Amino acid sequence: MMKPMHVLVTGGAGFIGSHLCEALLRRGERVTAVDNFDPFYDRRIKQRNLAAAQDFDGFRLVEGDIRDEALLAQPFGEPVDAVVHLAALAGVRNSLEQPLAFNEVNVGGTLTVLETARACGRPRFILASTSSVYGNSPHTPYREDASLWHCISPYGASKIACERYGYIYHAVHGMEVVALRFFTAYGERQRPDMAIHRFARAILDEKPVTIYGDGRTSRDYTYIGDIVRGVLAALDLADPGFDVINLGNSEATELGELVRLIERALGRSARIEYLPEQPGDPPHTCADIGHAREVLGFEPRTSLSEGIARFTAWLKAEDAARAG
């Protein structure tokens, strides 16, 4: 029997992180999650995210900031086999308002995690990147070898910098680094500021659904279960060296159609309010997942309509639990 891996997950109490922690624990791995419970949204949401993980003996939570070198060294007090680095400030529009903070947390924090990992045995390093690195490139679906000069947000630029640092630590220090470019992850526990969650919440509360632009922009929405399977596959790769891999559903859906799918799942109609387009938002995203298929054996399993049905069922159950 193989010895369980010890996996360090930064941002482990967040949307993607908490699902990943559970998946790792269910397959018998040991997990240390690091999270600073950033007040960007209610701390209680993240605490609920971790409820299932905390039932496992192999789970440990370290609360603190990834920029704190002394705190970050704590999980490495025992050997770490792999790091999944998810912690970051997220959001294109937020990054336009706080570019310095995004650079400090995303780039500086990532560099701190990489340097700590290098000094503590050079474990495999899985880096969460984003489709925002492609910006407003007109060439869709996006391939990993596409030019990144079209990036138009500090958030996307910070992730490009993180990928570059990942390559340096591979080339100079011999670390195995895989950067996974996530395409609009959604599903149960999705952050409340993200479109699907925000739209569903507005419809349930009988408030306007605000759409920036004419509703014809499109996104490649990727269900959380598919994202997690992609991360696990990256952890299990044999000798990946350095690689950059898209994780997406490889299907673009217009915003207007997204609202209709949410309406159908909730059995309610939306009242839509159109607002001017926002700077920094690319008009379209769509992943070419040919490389993910080849390297990870990755294939998305959950359609957008099915994923939204699962999300809205979860959201209504959360409302019922709080009301009870």
Supply the CATH number for residue 65's domain: 3.40.50.720
Which of residues 278 and 74 earns the better pLDDT score?
A: 74
pLDDT score of 212 = 87
Distance CA 232, CA 21 (A): 11
Predicted TM-score of the model (pTM): 0.96
Residue 224: both structure tokens together: 């959380």
Interval 205-245: pLDDT, tens: 999 999 988 888 999 999 999 999 999 999 999 999 999 99
Has residue 76 been placed in a domain?
yes
* Total count of residues recorded for the chain: 324
Has residue 129 been placed in a domain?
yes
Interval 114-123: pLDDT, tens: 999 999 999 9
Residue 30: both structure tokens together: 């040991």
For residues 180-195, average pLDDT: 96
Q: Is 287 helix (H, G, I), strand (E, B) or coil?
A: strand
Could you tell me what percent of the chain has a pLDDT over 90?
Answer: 89
Has residue 169 been placed in a domain?
yes
Q: What is the DSSP letter of 284?
A: B
Interval 118-140: pLDDT, tens: 999 999 999 999 999 999 998 89
Identify the CA nearest to 55 among candidates 31, 73, 78. Answer: 31
Can you give the residue range of the structural domain that contains 138?
A: 6-189+221-250+286-301
Residue 2 has pLDDT above 80, yes or no: no
Has residue 82 been placed in a domain?
yes
Interval 151-168: pLDDT, tens: 999 999 999 999 999 999
pLDDT score of 41 = 81
Residue 183 has pLDDT above 60, yes or no: yes
Has residue 270 been placed in a domain?
no
Q: How many domains does the chain have?
A: 1
Identify the CA nearest to 251 among candidates 166, 152, 183. Answer: 183
Interval 11-46: pLDDT, tens: 999 999 999 999 999 999 999 999 999 888 889 999
Has residue 96 been placed in a domain?
yes
Arithmetic mean of pLDDT over the chain:
95
Has residue 60 been placed in a domain?
yes
Q: Is 41 a catalytic residue?
A: no
pLDDT score of 1 = 56
Catalytic residue among 134, 155, 221, 223: 155
Has residue 209 been placed in a domain?
no
- Name the burial class of residue 90, with classes exposed (0-12), middle (13-18) and buried (19+) by CB atoms within 10 angstroms of its CB: buried
